[in-house]
Every structure is written in C-alpha cells, then in structure tokens.
Amino acid sequence: MPALPDTPDFIRSVALVGGTHGDELTGVHLVRAFLRNPRLVERPGMNVTPLIANEAAVAAGRRDLGHDLNRAFAAADLANPELDAYEQVRARQINALLGPKGPSSKTDLILDFHSAASDMGLNCNITGEDPWLFRLVALAIRRLAEHTEPLAVRCYQFPAPAGDAPYLPSIARHGLGIEVGPIAPGSMNAEIYFRTRRLALTLLDLVAEYNQGAWPDETLSLDVYTQVATIPFPEGDDGGLGTMVHPERIRAVYEPILPGDPLFVGFDGAVIPYGGEAGLFPTFVNEPSYYPKNIALCLARRTQRQA
Ligand SMILES: [Zn+2]
C-alpha cells in the first residue's frame, strides 16, 4: 500500500449534511434525495448518514431562526446547556448524534453542503490544515477534470480560527464544506444541483477507494485559494451602506484583481477603484448572507501545494 498522508486509520463513518443554512436548498434537496435512495451513497465498509441540519429553518425558508447554526459548534458552547437559541440547542443534538466533537467523534468525515449567490462555481472548503483532506480534494478535482464531461472544482481554504472552530464540520475528524454557486437563496438551479451531486458521489467513491488502499501513490499538484482578507462596504454619510459592488466585479469572481480595477460604485455613480495588493482573487463577491456582517467580498491568495 502506498504511503499516505498522516491519517492513522480508515474512514468508516461519513455524514452528508444539508440545510445547515435553511435557505441554501441545494444541500437540502441533495440530502433528501440521498434519504429517499440510500443506495446512491452506500459504499462498501462505510456507514453513510444523510442529515438535514436545520429542518426548522428550511421549513421557514430562512438561513436560521436567529443564530447561525454554522457558528454554534465551538466546544465551550456545546458544553453550555444554558444556551437556548434554537440553533444552539440543535447544535448540541447534532453533536450528540454525529460527534462528540473531539478525538472520540463517531464521525470520521462530514461533507456539509452550502450554496452562495456569488458566482463561485464548485468549491471544496477546508478550514486550516488537514493533509488527508487536501489529498482527497486533489484526487476529486483531477478525476472530475479528466472525465469525458469535465467538471471544474476549486479548493478553498479558510484560515483556522484563533480558537476553537465553531463550524458544524468541526465535530468530525475531517470536515469538508462544499460551496456551490451562483444560486439565489431559497431557490434551486438544476445544473448546479446535478454538478454538486456528481462532486459528492465522486468524493464518496474516493473515500471508499482510500479504505481499500487504492489511492494512487503519486503526488498531485493542487491550486489552493486561501482566504486572506474580507473587504467591507465603504460607509455612507449616514453610517449605512454607502456603495454597491461594481457590476464588473460581480461578474468577475475568481478573476485576479489589480490596483485601479473598479471595485465599488456609489449611489451617485462615482466609481471607487481597488487599491490593495495585485493578483489576489475576489470570492464571495456581493454575497447577500454577508451583508449583515458588512462584508462586500473576500480576497484569496492562490498557491500551489503538493497533495
Ligand atoms: Zn451556507
């Protein structure tokens, strides 16, 4: 068996999670399809569990009922029974079902399905460092790119938070976010749905092959987009939203940005150019769910790594 990155054992239990954000319907309908037809996701030697994370928010057609479920999984919060927001209670239930968060978690791998209104394409999101996950993603990207109907997938990395990660996938040994777009909140896009399904099934195939010792032994080059900054909307005179993202940039997600490129446009039509470092990649551009955090877009740096 070829040398593998530092993963001590097999991946026996996998959870496929949708509806962590209740208005991101791609994951919801993907998981429902898996619940209706479990044979799609059955793989030899693996226990695969599809789960709708926030049914109440899905029923309400909302991202959440007041608290972001994907920020409710910090260890200290999971251990605090006095936190009684709906999503905080639900996080403890999910932690009991799939966790508990930490080395004795019942779940080896969580795939958590999200969508963005921004034109993000298909992304595998990794938080911090996880060599095994980077290799899984590199193999999936190659397999889908070389298919007779090629599918482009990017690897996106969120920096590890300073403390304990509050994200749902953090309760498994390995946690992977799947982010697809552009899809308006509360709606479906059939083409992206089927692409996401192909990505999910390919990842499961590769995990099964890993368990069988069937991963190739060559090293792969992987482009990784690491989020390095979030850019706020310039403030208006009244302290509220003072500008909009420039339409050219909304159409140019993942295209490198250069100083002087139009970035914002004011309500009076005045264009505000980008003034930062050259060659970074704008992501999550004009993402509606980021407006409450006053984030207009994110910037990522592309590096190549061996996986
Ligand atoms: Zn989401």
pLDDT tens, residue by residue, 71-99: 999 999 999 999 999 999 999 999 999 99
- pLDDT at position 78 is 98
- pLDDT at position 8 is 55
* Whether residue 287 sits in one domain with residue 199: no
* Whether residue 262 sits in one domain with residue 189: no
List, in order, residues 6 or more apart from 209 with CB less than 8 Å away: 215
* Whether residue 233 sits in one domain with residue 203: no
Q: For residue 20, how far is its CA from the centre of ligand 1 (angstroms)?
A: 7
Question: Is residue 57 included in any domain, yes or no?
Answer: yes
Q: Catalytic site residues? A: 179
* Whether residue 58 sits in one domain with residue 175: yes
Range name among 24-33, 159-168, 271-280, 293-302 with the lowest pLDDT average: 159-168
Q: Which residues are annotated as a binding site?
A: 21, 24, 114
Please say if the pLDDT value at position 125 is more than 60: yes
* Whether residue 237 sits in one domain with residue 213: no
Token readout for 18 is 């949708």
* Whether residue 240 sits in one domain with residue 156: no
Kindly report the CATH number assigned to the domain that includes residue 286. Answer: 2.20.25.160
List, in order, residues 6 or more apart from 117 with CB less than 8 Å away: 181, 182, 183, 184, 185, 286, 287, 288, 289
- pLDDT at position 163 is 86
State percent of the chain over pLDDT 70: 97
Q: For residue 204, how far is its CA from the centre of ligand 1 (angstroms)?
A: 21
- pLDDT at position 40 is 98
Question: Is residue 6 included in any domain, yes or no?
Answer: no
* Whether residue 112 sits in one domain with residue 155: yes
Q: For residue 268, how far is its CA from the centre of ligand 1 (angstroms)?
A: 33
Per-residue confidence band for 3, with pLDDT thresholds at 50, 70 and 90: very low
- pLDDT at position 162 is 85
- CA-to-CA distance for 196 and 153, rounded, in angstroms? 10
Average pLDDT, the chain: 95
* Whether residue 249 sits in one domain with residue 132: no
Q: Model confidence over 274-288: pLDDT tens digits? A: 999 999 999 999 999
Q: Cis peptide before 5, with omega less than 30 degrees from 0?
A: no
Please say if the pLDDT value at position 22 is more than 90: yes
* Whether residue 183 sits in one domain with residue 64: yes
What mean pLDDT do residues 251-264 have? 98
Question: Is residue 91 included in any domain, yes or no?
Answer: yes
List, in order, residues 6 or more apart from 294 with CB less than 8 Å away: 232, 233
Question: Is residue 301 included in any domain, yes or no?
Answer: no
Q: How many domains does the chain have?
A: 2
* Whether residue 121 sits in one domain with residue 206: yes
Containing domain of residue 267, as a range? 228-292
Q: For residue 115, how far is its CA from the centre of ligand 1 (angstroms)?
A: 6
Kindly report the CATH number assigned to the domain that includes residue 76. Answer: 3.40.630.10
Please say if the pLDDT value at position 230 is more than 80: yes
Decide: 187 and 20 in contact? Cβ < 8 Å. no
What mean pLDDT do residues 289-296 have? 95
Question: Is residue 8 included in any domain, yes or no?
Answer: no
* Whether residue 123 sits in one domain with residue 245: no
Question: Is residue 7 included in any domain, yes or no?
Answer: no
Q: Facing residues of 227 across strands? A: 300
Q: Which residues are annotated as a binding site for Zn(2+)?
A: 21, 24, 114
Q: What are phi and psi for residue 98, nearest 5 degrees?
A: -110, -25
Of 218, 253, 269, which closes a domain?
218
Question: Is residue 142 included in any domain, yes or no?
Answer: yes
Please say if the pLDDT value at position 189 is more than 80: yes
Question: Is residue 90 included in any domain, yes or no?
Answer: yes
